[in-house]
Amino acid sequence: MLSAKEIKETAAEIGFDLCGIAPCRRLEETERRFRDWLAAGRQADLHYLERNLDKRFDPRRLVEGAQSVAVCAVNYKNAFSLGYADEWPAKIASYALNRDYHRTLKEMLRTLLLRLRERYPALQGRAFTDSAPLVEKRLAVEAGLGWIGRQSLLVTPQFGSFVLLGEVVLTEPCDRYDEPFSESRCGSCRACVEHCPTGAVCGERTIDAGRCISCHTVENAAGVAPRSLHGWIFGCDCCQSCCPYNLRTPLASHPAFRSPLDPLAFDCERWLRMTEEEFDAAFGLTPLTRSGLERIRRNLGR
């Protein structure tokens, strides 16, 4: 049987800011809500969300014999997380100003799994971070890390919504599981709803991908394209920068998220004269490669 205390201590040693543990089970209520969201067409052109519904809501379908899931989080808040001057024409979501978090978190999660297997040789498991059809935010709620805010993101008491999630699904039971976070602490606050410039924050704590600036600048989302991207060229932090919890949380302490690129050094003129080689040199290890230079240029001035 796995020791919850040992898992959390090891996660902290590796650099995770939060770690909670939940038993593996089918999340039936989450599945129902998700299917309703799909039926309403809120996924727009994100058709990959319609696949693997049999696996998405039960970690046991992704890892044979899975019994426990350790959900880990890293705070990524930086100097740009709370926003830019309104007139700045080349805004980049703060998570994208560092090395691609998929690489960083996957390395950390694999290290966690390796260390646990040194202690438990028979243990099997898999590490995930946005790399499988897994409802990460809901699993984080199940593991006691926080609640789902009105903007559909996980909100933690310690770090607000500026957290990146990763999971290790394990084939052994744990001696203690965390209590699910059963309450929402949003209260009557509707700041994220009111501050979304395109009205993408809907009811039931969901997002309309067809209206979401982040989806239109990063994904290939169709639907009602925003008339204006309000200066965002990659991603969007509008529904986070206004959240009262995010206003009072600390900046990131993990070295990988502590020294972001300076987006103010890249104005429209610099973006327009940038070569592919210069783009790769400056942003080749960041999430911006997902869009690419040509698409980022198209977003300028919108």
pLDDT digits (tens, 9 = 90+) for 28-78: 999 999 999 999 888 888 888 888 888 899 999 999 999 999 999 999 999
pLDDT at residue number 105: 97
Q: Are 163 and 128 in contact (CB under 8 A)?
A: no
Which of 239-256 are b and which e, b meaning 16 or more Cβ less than 10 Å from the residue's Cβ? bbbbbebbeebeebebeb
Query: From the candidates 45, 58, 100, 130, which is the catalytic residue?
Result: 130
Q: Are 207 and 42 in contact (CB under 8 A)?
A: yes
The answer to whether residue 221 scores a pLDDT higher than 80 is no
* CA dist., res. 197 & res. 227, Å (int): 10
Residue 224: pLDDT band by 50, 70, 90 thresholds? low
Provide the 10 A C-beta neighbour count for residue 294.
9
Mean of pLDDT over the chain = 94
Q: How many domains does the chain have?
A: 1
Residue 203: pLDDT band by 50, 70, 90 thresholds? confident
Residue 104: pLDDT band by 50, 70, 90 thresholds? very high
pLDDT digits (tens, 9 = 90+) for 135-173: 999 999 999 999 999 999 999 999 999 999 999 999 999
The answer to whether residue 222 scores a pLDDT higher than 50 is no
The answer to whether residue 122 scores a pLDDT higher than 70 is yes
Q: Are 186 and 260 in contact (CB under 8 A)?
A: no
- Tell me the average pLDDT across 278-299: 94
- Tell me the average pLDDT across 16-22: 98
Apex CA 210: angle with CA 216 and CA 134, to 5°? 85
Provide the 10 A C-beta neighbour count for residue 123.
15
The residue with greater pLDDT, 103 or 203, is: 103
The residues with which 201 forms a beta bridge, in sequence order, are 207
CA-CA-CA-CA torsion for 52, 57, 63, 66, nearest 10 degrees?
-170
Give the domain extent around 49: 4-299
pLDDT at residue number 228: 87
Q: Are 257 and 78 in contact (CB under 8 A)?
A: yes
Annotated active-site residue 54? The verdict is no
The answer to whether residue 223 scores a pLDDT higher than 90 is no
Which helix (H) or strand (E) covers residue 234, if one does?
strand 232-234
